[in-house]
Amino acid sequence: MAKINQPSTQVKLTNVSLVRLKKGKKRFEIACYQNKVQDYRSGVEKDIEEVLQIPQVFTNVSKGQVASQEDIVLCFGKDKTTDEIVLEILKKGEIQLNEKERVASKEKLHTEILTIIATKCINPKSKKRYPPTMINKALTELKVNFLPNRPAKIQALDAIRLLIEKQLIPIARAKMRVKITLELAKYKKNQEQIRGFLADEVDEDISGKLWVCVSYIDPVNYRDIVELSQANNGSVEVLDMTVADESDKNL
Give the pLDDT band (50/70/90) at residue 6: very low
Per-residue pLDDT tens over the stretch 171-205: 998 888 899 999 999 989 998 998 888 877 788 88
CATH architecture of residue range(s) 99-172: Orthogonal Bundle (1.10)
The residues facing 238 across adjacent strands are 178
- Is pLDDT at 132 greater than 90 in this prediction? yes
Per-residue pLDDT tens over the stretch 18-69: 899 998 889 999 998 877 888 888 888 889 889 999 889 999 988 889 999 9
What does the pLDDT read at residue 203?
Answer: 87
- Is pLDDT at 4 greater than 60 in this prediction? no
- CATH 3.30.70.240 domain residues, the chain: 175-244
CA dihedral sign, ordered 157, 158, 164, 168: negative
Per-residue pLDDT tens over the stretch 199-223: 777 888 888 889 999 998 888 888 8
d(CA 192, CA 198): 10
Per-residue pLDDT tens over the stretch 133-171: 999 999 999 999 998 878 899 999 999 999 999 999 999
Per-residue pLDDT tens over the stretch 79-116: 888 889 999 999 999 888 767 777 888 899 999 999 99
- CATH 3.30.1250.10 domain residues, the chain: 16-96
CATH class for the region spanning 16-96? alpha beta
Residue type, 86: V
- CATH 1.10.10.900 domain residues, the chain: 99-172
- Is pLDDT at 5 greater than 60 in this prediction? no
What does the pLDDT read at residue 206?
Answer: 86
Assess contact for 248 and 127: CB atoms under 8 A: yes
Residue type, 75: C
d(CA 146, CA 231): 39
The domain 175-244 is placed in CATH, from the list 3.30.420.40, 3.30.70.240, 3.60.15.10, 3.40.50.300, at: 3.30.70.240
Residue type, 74: L
